[in-house]
Structure 1
Amino acid sequence: MSTHRPSQERPMSDIDIRDERERGLLSARQDGETVGRVQYFVLDRESQGALVAVHTVVEPAHEGKGIAGSLARELYALAAREGLAVVPLCSFVARWAERHPGEAPPAPRELVNAAEEALAADPEKW
């Protein structure tokens, strides 16, 4: 599990973002409480792997603080560190990626297709 304090547009004091790979979660925590998360799964392919974002949630009391954007940014940074692509099947992450093309390179179409097929074959991933 890694811990990272990302830079973001709005200051978020004492927010930690943690990769909980075994649970398929990138979690934003404050004072020991999860305040936001991106649910994802790892698409493992011989040619190239990907982190596939399927859902983003920020607790209502923490909305509007830049948490979801920080989670999306960290998902792309995590993937880059691991040499993986990101397939943003989550609508929030997809919109964030469109607004931040320098930080969010598009995934190859074959990875998007494979991620969609994997999700359709196993709805529990969502």
Structure 2
Amino acid sequence: MTGRPVPSGRAAPHPAGGDSRRPGWHTGRMTDSVIADDRPNGRLEARADGELLGHIQYFVLDEPAPALVPVHTVVEPAHEGKGVAGSLARELYAIAAREGLAVAPLCPYVVRWAAKHPDEAPAAPQDLLDAAKAAVAADPGKW
């Protein structure tokens, strides 16, 4: 797994001292945590102090173009309402952007999040969404 820290709304300490926000870091209400991509298992996980806060289950679509396909977002009950799901969705799109991949969301939460954040979540072409749905229909275990 690879991970990157996702600080809370507090200003991150600047390496030279003082406070400044680090570009690209989530600054929502989520507690200090790490988001890790467990690609072999198709899970993007948010953890704090070793505790699982939530995850996005996804698979990688190869055709018609490489894409990440999120199918479920789960937040542990004790962590609901703290920005965990939004932080996971944001990081999923950031990973896709860094890797030059599209995101074809089938998870209703990620679909809604993307609609609210079009600057961070480019819309997937319809043929990619259709291929993602067909992949799930052919292998319900992906769902």
Measured against the shorter chain, the TM-score band is: over 0.9
Alpha-carbon shift at residue 33 of structure 1 (Å) = 1.5
Please tell me whether residue 92 in structure 1 is matched to residue 94 in structure 2: no
SS where residue 112 of structure 1 aligns?
A: helix
Give the secondary structure class of the aligned counterpart of 2:104: strand
**Alignment identity in percent?**
62
Cα distance between partner residues in 2 of 1:60 and 1:69: 15
2:67 matches 1:53: no
**Structure with the larger helix share:** 1
Shift of 1:9: 4.7
Name structure 1 gaps, 5 residues minimum: none
Count of paired positions: 125
5 Å-filtered alignment, 1:1-126, equals 1-6=1-6, 7-45=25-63, 47-126=64-143
| 1:38 partner amino acid | I
Please give the TM-score of this superposition, normalised by the length of structure 2.
Answer: 0.83
Pairwise CA distance, 1:111:
0.7
Distance 2:59 2:93 in 1: 14
> 2:107, 2:29 → 1: CA distance?
24
Return 5+ residue gaps in structure 2 as ranges: 7-24
Return the index of the structure with the highest Cα Rg.
2
